[in-house]
Amino acid sequence: MKKWRLPEETGIFAVLIVVAAVLSIMSPTFRTLDNGLVLLVNGTVIAFLALGQTFVLLTGGIDLSTGANVAMTGVVGALFMQAGLPWPAAAVLAVAVGTLLGVANGLLIHYLRIPPFIVTFSTQGVALAIPLIITGANSVAVKDPGFSWIGQGRIAGIPLPVLLLAIAAVLAALFLKMTRPGVHVYAYGGNKAAARLSGVNLARTTVLVYAVSGFCGGMGGLIATSRLMVGFPSTGTGNELFYSIAAAVVGGISLFGGTGSVLGAMIGAVLIAVVSNGMNVLNVQSYWQSLVIGLIILVGVSFDTLRRYRAGKPILRRSTGATPSGPAASGSPSTSLSAQQRR
Amino acid sequence: MAAGLMVTSISKTYGQTKALTDVSLAIEPGRVVALIGHNGAGKSTLLRALSGAEVPDTGSIVVDGAADQFLSPADATAVGIACVYQELSLIGELTVAENLFLGTEETTGPLLNRKEMNRRADELCKEYGIPARGTDLVSRLPVAQRQLLEVVRGINRNAKYLLLDEPTTALEQEQVENLLDIIRRLTAERGLGVLLVDHKLDEVFAIADHIVGLSNGRIVLDSPADTVDRLKVIDAIVGDHATVDDSLFSHAELSVEDLEVMDEAKREDRFGDVVLAAEHLSGNGLAGVTLDVHAGEVLGIYGLIGAGRSRFLRTVYGAEPVAHGSLSLLGRPYAPKQPSDAIASGVAFLSEERKSDGFIPQMSSVDNAVLPVLGRYMKSGILNWKALRGSAREILSQVTIRGDISNPITSLSGGNQQKALFARATLQGPKLLLLDEPTKGVDIGAKREIHRIVKKLAREQNVAVIVVSSEEEELTMLADTIVVFRHGSCDGVAYPRSGITPAELRELAWAETKESA
C-alpha cells in the first residue's frame, strides 16, 4: 500500500506559477521570451549563491561570506587577466580562490568549533576588504574579449550563465541524492550526534559544504565580472547574500538543517528573480524589492517552522480521520497516539 | 500539626509501571534522612514529587502542617523546599554572585548593587569553604565547587528543607567531607531538614539520622540510623522481591531457546574466539576496565548508574577517547579514533538515547537503516539506492515494525524505532554489537521481540554482543554471562547467567560499599 505523495517542491512551484501568471497579466513586457531570458540571466549569480547556500543550510550552518566572495573572485580574476594570464586560466584560478575561502570557513568551523555564523561573518569582512585593498577601491577592466563568453555567450540560444547554472544544479542534485558524501550532508544536518555515531565524517562533511559554497561564490564572481567585463570590488556585496538565503529558504531548505532539495532551492531562486524582474518591469521603485523579499523569507521560514513543529507531533496530521477513543480522549494528543499504535 | 515535611502514602503510576506505591516518610527540621535504593527504585520520582516537578496520583504532602495539596515547583520554593539535582542548574556564563542572587538581586533604585552582592557572595563562599570569589565565572569552577555552590544557593533562599540528589558522585573524598560538614552544620545551627539520596553507605552512616530504603517503588526500610547496620540496609534494598517484569517473562519459554548447559562448560568451549578484550581501560570516567567477550556470547554489563557502563561502550565504539589501557578486536590491537573506524572494524552500536544520538529524525526508517552501510552498495561513487533500500526493507520486515517504514522514523513508536535501529545494526553484519539499554522506554511486546533479535544474532550469526542494562531481570534473562561495573571499574569476573539472581547482582554492584564496612 504505497501512497503516492506530492513532491515537497509542489507548493513553491505553484507559488512561482501563480506569481508569474499574475505578472504576465499585469505587464505585456513581462511575458515576452526576451524578458524571460533576461530574468534568468540576471538571476544566475543569486541562483549560484543559493545553490552553494543549499549545501551549507542542509547541514544546519549558514554562509554569510558568499556575497563578498563574488566581489573577491571577480576582482582576482580580472587582475589575473590584467597580469597577462589567458582568460580560461584566470577563470579557473579565480574559482579556486573562491573555493579556498570556503575550505577555510569549513576548517575554522569544524576544528575551532566556532559557530558558522561567526566564522562566515568574519571571513565576509576579510573577503570584502581584499579586493578593495588590492585595487585601492578602483575597478579593474578586463581587456580579453574572450572572457565575455562566460557571461554573455549563448549555446543554442540559451545564455551560457543559465546553462552553467543548470549543469551545476543537476550535478549538485545528483551528488546529494546519489553519493555517500551527499547523503552524509543530510544526516549531518538532521542530527549531528547520530550522524557521527553512524559513521559520518563530520570534518570532511563540514569542509565539503563550505567548499561547495565557496566554489559557487567563485562562479558567481566570474559571471558577474564577465557580464560587465569589469571587476568591481563591490559586485555581489549588495542584496545578493540576502537574496540567496531567501531563495534557498523559500525553496524549502530548512534553516535548521536536514531537509530540502536543490530543485526547491532553484525554484526559489527563479521566484526571487521573477519577483525582482516583475517589480522592475512594473516600474515599482527598487526600494520595495527588499521589503517584498524579506516578507517572502518570513513566510517561507514560518512554513518550515510549522512543518517541523507538526513533524514532532504526527497526531496533528493523523487525527483528521481517527476519533480518539474512550479514556485516551481525555489524555494529551501523544497519549492517544501511543494508544492507537499499541493496538 | 508538628513542623516537618510529611509525605503520606503517595503513589505514582506511569503507564503500566508503578513508580511509587504507598510511600510515606517524614523529614523533620534539624535531621538528615538518607534515601537509598536501586536504579529505578523510585528515588528520583519521589524527589521530583517533593520538589513539585511531578504530581503524585494519590496521597498527600504536608509542609509544616500547612499545605494539604500537592505542590507546584513555585509552591515548593515558596514553602522553603530546595532541591539540588545531579544535573547542575547554574549558569556557567554568569559569576558566582550573579548565580547566587539570580532572581533575588540586590538593587539600589533601578541599578544592581553588584558590590553588595559580590561581598555577600564572598562571605557565603568563605562560610561554606568554597575557594571561589563572587566575581568568578561559574564555568571556570571545578564541578565539585559548583555542586557546593548549588547547595549554598538553595540555603541562601531561606530553604527549610533541602533535597540532595546524589550530591557526592562528582566529588573527591576531601570535598565529600566538606559537604557532609556543611550539612551537619546546617542541620544543627539552622534546623534545616535534609533528604539525601546517596549510593554510598559510608556517607549515609556518617551523616544520616534516619534511613529510608526504596525498592520497586515501595518503602522497604524505615529506621533510625543507629538501629540498623550495613548488612541489614543492603539486604533491605537488594531484597529478593518478585518484580512485575519477572512475571511477564516466563523462564520456561526462554529455557527452550537455551540449548547449552550453562554451568558446566567453560566460556571458551561454549562460545567462539574472543572478539573483544579490554585491558585496564581507564581515564575519561573509567577506572580500570578489564573484560572480554566471545563470538556468540551475550555479555551483560550491570552496575549502578554512573558506574561507567555507557562510557565503556562509547569508548569501544570510538565515540570517546581511550586514555590508558588497551583494546583488542579479534586478536588485533584496536584503537578507534571515531565511530567510522569502529564501523569499518565490524562494530555496531545502539545508543541509550535514541532521540539525541540514535537516528536522523527527518529520514525514513529505511534511510536510517542504510546510513552506516552506504559504501557497500556503491559503484564508482554512485549509490545504488534500489539495492540499498531493498536490503534494508528485507531486514526491516524481519523485525515486524508496526508503522510505515518509508515515513520519517519519528512517526514510529519508541519500540518500533528501536527495532528499526536493530535492523540497522543487523544490516551492518557486525562482529561485535554494543547495546546501551536496548529496551529503555519500549513496551513489553517490543522488549520481548528485541530480546529475541539479540539472541538470534548471537546464536545464528555468531555475533559477540555486549548489553548494558539497569534491569537485573533483563540481564539474567538475556545475557549468557554478566560482569559488574563499580565506580568506573570492572574486574572482568564473568558470572554465568544461571548462577546468579537479580538480588545477587544488586549486591555485587553495592559490594564495594559493603567491603569497606
pLDDT value for A41: 94
Domain around A165: 34-341
DSSP string, B412-476: S-HHHHHHHHHHHHHHT--SEEEEESTTTT--HHHHHHHHHHHHHHHHHH--EEEEE-S-HHHHH
- Which range has highest mean pLDDT (A106-110, B60-64, B97-101, B513-517)? A106-110
In a domain? residue A14: no
Q: Choose among B452, B503, B448, B511: nearest CA to B485.
A: B511
Q: Give tens-digit pLDDT for A93-150.
A: 999 999 999 999 999 999 999 999 999 999 999 999 999 999 998 999 999 999 999 9
Q: Does B296 touch chain A (CB under 8 A)?
A: no
Beta strands B324-329 and B274-283, pairing class: antiparallel
Q: What are the φ/ψ torsions at residue A294 (nearest 5 degrees)?
A: -60, -45
Chain A contacts of B410, Cβ < 8 Å?
311-312, 314
In a domain? residue A175: yes
For chain B, percent of residues with pLDDT exceeding 70: 90
Q: Do residues B117 and B105 lie in contact, with contact meaning Cβ atoms separated by under 8 Å?
A: yes
Asked if A190 lies within 8 A of B363 by C-beta distance, the reply is yes
What is the C-alpha separation between A127 and A59, in angstroms, rounded?
Answer: 23
Cβ contacts below 8 Å, chain A against chain B, sum to 88
Residue ranges of domains in chain B, CATH in brackets: 5-238 (3.40.50.300), 272-343+431-517 (3.40.50.300), 347-429 (3.40.50.300)
Give the HSE-up count for residue B66: Cα atoms under 13 Å, Cβ half-sphere: 11
Is A313 a residue whose pLDDT tops 60? no
- B268 pLDDT band, cuts 50/70/90, is low
CB neighbour list of residue A91: distance below 8 Å, 6 or more residues apart: A77, A147, A150, A222
Asked if A341 lies within 8 A of B403 by C-beta distance, the reply is yes
What ipTM describes this predicted complex? Answer: 0.78
Asked if B363 lies within 8 A of A196 by C-beta distance, the reply is no
Q: Does A112 touch chain B (CB under 8 A)?
A: no
- A83 pLDDT band, cuts 50/70/90, is very high
What is the C-alpha separation between B329 and B335, in angstroms, rounded?
Answer: 9
Specify the pTM: 0.75
Min Cα–Cα distance to chain B from A206, Å: 16
What is the C-alpha separation between B146 and B504, in angstroms, rounded?
Answer: 36
C-alpha distances in angstroms, B139 versus B92, B142, B144, B146, B169? 4, 8, 12, 9, 19
In a domain? residue A108: yes
Is A333 a residue whose pLDDT tops 90? no
Strand partners, B268: none
Chain A contacts of B411, Cβ < 8 Å?
314
- B27 pLDDT band, cuts 50/70/90, is very high
Q: Choose among B46, B477, B517: nearest CA to B235.
A: B517
CB neighbour list of residue B267: distance below 8 Å, 6 or more residues apart: B294, B297, B481, B494
Lowest mean pLDDT among A69-73, A75-79, B397-401: B397-401
Average per-residue pLDDT for chain B: 83
Q: Choose among A122, A119, A116: nearest CA to A61.
A: A116
Write the single-letter amino acid at A38.
V
Min Cα–Cα distance to chain B from A199, Å: 4
Q: Give tens-digit pLDDT for B73-107.
A: 777 888 888 888 776 678 888 899 998 888 778 88
CB neighbour list of residue B214: distance below 8 Å, 6 or more residues apart: B23, B35, B36, B37, B41, B42, B43, B46, B220, B237
Write the single-letter amino acid at B230.
R
In a domain? residue A204: yes
Is B247 a residue whose pLDDT tops 60? no
What is the C-alpha separation between A255 and B29, in angstroms, rounded?
Answer: 53
Beta strands B193-197 and B32-37, pairing class: parallel
Closest-approach residue (CA) in chain B for A187: B360
What is the C-alpha separation between B190 and B462, in angstroms, rounded?
Answer: 62
Min Cα–Cα distance to chain B from A62, Å: 19
In a domain? residue A17: no
DSSP type of residue B137: B
In a domain? residue A112: yes
What is the C-alpha separation between B272 and B478, in angstroms, rounded?
Answer: 18
In a domain? residue A86: yes
Total tally of structural domains belonging to chain A: 1
Give every strand in the sheet of B81-84, ordered side by side.
B81-84, B161-165, B193-197, B32-37, B210-215, B218-224
Q: Give the CATH number, domain containing residue A186.
A: 1.10.3470
- B511 pLDDT band, cuts 50/70/90, is low
In a domain? residue A305: yes
Q: Does B346 touch chain A (CB under 8 A)?
A: no
